[in-house]
Chain A
Amino acid sequence: MALLSFLLRRLGLSIFVFIGVLILTFIVSRVIPSNPAALYAGARPRPEQVAEIEKKLGLDKPLSEQFRVYVDDLLNGDLGESYHSRRSINTDLSIFLPATLELVIAAVLIALVFGIPIGVLAGAYPRSVFDYATRFVAIAGVSVPSFWLALIAQSIFFSQLGWLPLGSRISRDATLFYPIAAQTGFYLIDAAISGNWKAWLDAARHLILPALVLSAYPLGITIRMTQASMLEVLAEPYVAAARAAGLPRRVILFKLALKNAVMPALTVVGLSFAYSITGAFLVETIFSWPGVGKYVTEAVLNVDFPVIIAVSLVVTLFYILVNLLVDVVQALLDPRVRLV
């Protein structure tokens, strides 16, 4: 019962938050800019052009009416049209979103697979050389500008060593000679489904560098949070009791503490996702990765509002869902969470 009411409450909160997100993005796109119609019209429009566009976009109507139309369109799944290219944003996003998600998921996986064990060990052996080295790595990870790290990585692994490609999702040879049959838009999945291993390898080689660069920040966060939660657990009375009872250190660390320490570290999944997305906005441009980050930075240069807002909405929706999922998994695993 407690579980069900927790889930309902959590779901309700997510819906509420999304409504808030709709209102906030509406304010940012329609209320703050001095004249959206002038932006749409392009450079030096005549006043009557602006008036005409205002009518076309419904900007002459009262804000409450505009908001109704805005929400209506979104609920119908219509994200609008780019001011710049006049293309449908839905079509654009269906191509760019999977590219970004593939990159972000790879980065999150790297961060978790390396970050959690490192954090646990650093927490288990405080004040050791390993602890200090880890602290340094974790802080470096959250301090390095991702777009700069991307340049350095390209120069080392492409220019100097020649091990990995410079950028983009796949090589031209692969698209010409063994193209991937698009299904999910995730190249690694699509190539694997169709057994196209040559293309899979090619896509994987293109993914490595941007994913590693993106994982720097979430890796730092994961290490720090896992370590902190490990330290906290080790200070609990039951650990002291186990120690007093003479249980070997190995058992205390890996049987008692680890299980309880990894639980809070789950929240790290949501955070990692958020920071990888953030990094992707800056890093995709450098790796010519055809994702939403590159899409949105180009939209920024063209002052292409509908694109910026649509991307904000869709990515935020994903983020809300990831956090919801994390909370649900946590509630399923840990009864204490449900009571909060």
Chain B
Amino acid sequence: MRLEVGSSLWFLLRDRAATISMAFLILVALSAVFAPLLTPYASQGMGEPNLTAKFQPPGIEHPFGADGLGRDQAARLMFGARRSLSMGLLVVLIAIAIGTPLGMSAGYLGGWVDEAIMRVTDVFLAFPPLLLAIAIAAALGASYVNAVMAIAVTWWPWYARLARAQTRSVRERAYIEAARSIGVRHRVIIRRHILPNIMTPIIVQGTLDVGTAILVAAGLSFIGLGTQAPYADWGVMISDGRLFFLSGRWWMSTFPGLAIFLTAMAFNFLGDGVRMAADPRLRRTL
């Protein structure tokens, strides 16, 4: 299942939900990257208090309101996007970087290597998601980097399994045998012949996972194990606003929650679209 870029891209663009999602994600990413240029309150976005605007509701001055330290919530959201988005992306990239080589080795070499790697993945997957990440993040100490590491360490086994299954089906192809018979080394076969042929399902899964990774990262931040004050990500913002939510100051938690919700949804729709575009069998009508 190799991505034929031309026809697949065309198919993806015809999927309205995926196109809208992509546009939305590009918008969020741009607002994160150019946050300092887009808001007059960049310093508040990075945590500086502004007590004159304490608890100001949404209005012309602060379209998303201000928090308990008077910080403009729109600026906080944009700067928070930097952390929330990067956490999701980093977790998935690190998990792929650890899981894919291990899974390929297991699937290609077979035997005791396969057995050993797969039993290790069994152990990691025996934990309910988040739980092991909480334990590891707590052990490493609460911080943005440690939260990313903790989640990635619990996530790689999924990619190891996926890469292994794909590798096993590719391994039996004639061109691999041909390469072997002319004396190409295993390492080169894995890198040059197997890797390109298993990347598509991994990219599809990766796209679907970024949304979930953002959710999990927000969860860790929400319980205090992720981004630390004065910086904020969306999970921290929900946590900051939570005690005021029912007493009428609804804006502090509502907007970051919506941001997570919509972003995770967009990644899921996009991932679905990419999967259907990459796999022609899913395109046909039943």
Do A and B associate with each other? yes
Is B128 touching A18 in the complex (CB atoms < 8 A)?
Answer: no
Q: Which of A225-272 contact B (CB under 8 A)?
A: 231, 234-235
Residue A309, interface by CB 8 Å? yes
Question: In the bound complex, do residue A281 and residue B134 qualify as a contact, i.e. CB atoms below 8 Å apart?
Answer: yes
Contact A20 B120 (CB under 8 A): yes
Closest A residue to B284 by beta carbon equals A235
Contact of A32 among B123, B140, B256 (CB under 8 A): B140
Query: 5 closest A-B pairs (Cβ-Cβ)?
Result: A20-B123, A148-B257, A143-B264, A143-B265, A32-B139
A9 at the interface (CB under 8 A from B): no
SS class, residues of chain B in contact with chain A:
helix
Q: Which residue of B lies closest to A31 (CB)?
A: B139
Binding stretch for chain A, among B75-83, B169-177, B216-224: B216-224
Chain A residue numbers with a CB within 8 Å of B235 are 145
Give the A-B contact count at a CB cut-off of 8 A.
148
Interface residues of B in 227-244 (CB under 8 A from A): 235, 238, 242
B211 at the interface (CB under 8 A from A): yes
Within 8 A of A (CB), among B244-272: 245-246, 250, 253-254, 256-257, 260-261, 264-265, 268-269, 272
**Interface residues of chain A: helix, strand, loop or mixed (majority):** helix
Contact B261 A144 (CB under 8 A): yes
Contact count band on B: 35 or more
Give the CA-CA distance A18 to B265 in the complex, in Å.
Answer: 35
A297 to B135 CA separation, bound complex (whole angstroms): 11
Query: B224 touching A231 by the CB < 8 A rule?
Result: no
Once bound together, how far apart are the Cα atoms of A316 and B125, in whole Å? 10
Question: Does B285 touch A at the CB level, under 8 Å?
Answer: yes
Q: Report yes or no: A147 in contact with B219, Cβ–Cβ below 8 A.
A: yes
Contact partner of B238 among A145, A231, A316, CB < 8 A? A145
Partner of B139, one of A29, A127, A231: A29
Chain A residues whose C-beta falls within 8 Å of the C-beta of B132 in the assembled complex: 24, 28, 312
Judged by a CB distance under 8 angstroms, whether B127 is at the interface is yes
Q: Is the CB of B128 within 8 A of A303?
A: no
Residues of B within 8 A of A285 (CB): 223
A145 contact from B135, B140, B218, B250, Cβ within 8 A: B218
Within A274-331, the residues touching B (CB, 8 Å) are 274-275, 277-278, 281-282, 285-286, 296-297, 300-301, 303, 305, 308-309, 311-312, 315-316, 319-320
CA distance A262 to B272 in the complex (A): 23
Q: Is residue B85 contacting chain A, with contact meaning CB distance below 8 A? A: no
Most A C-beta atoms less than 10 A away, residue of B134, B135, B260? B135
Looking across the interface, which residue of chain A has its beta carbon closest to that of B234? A145
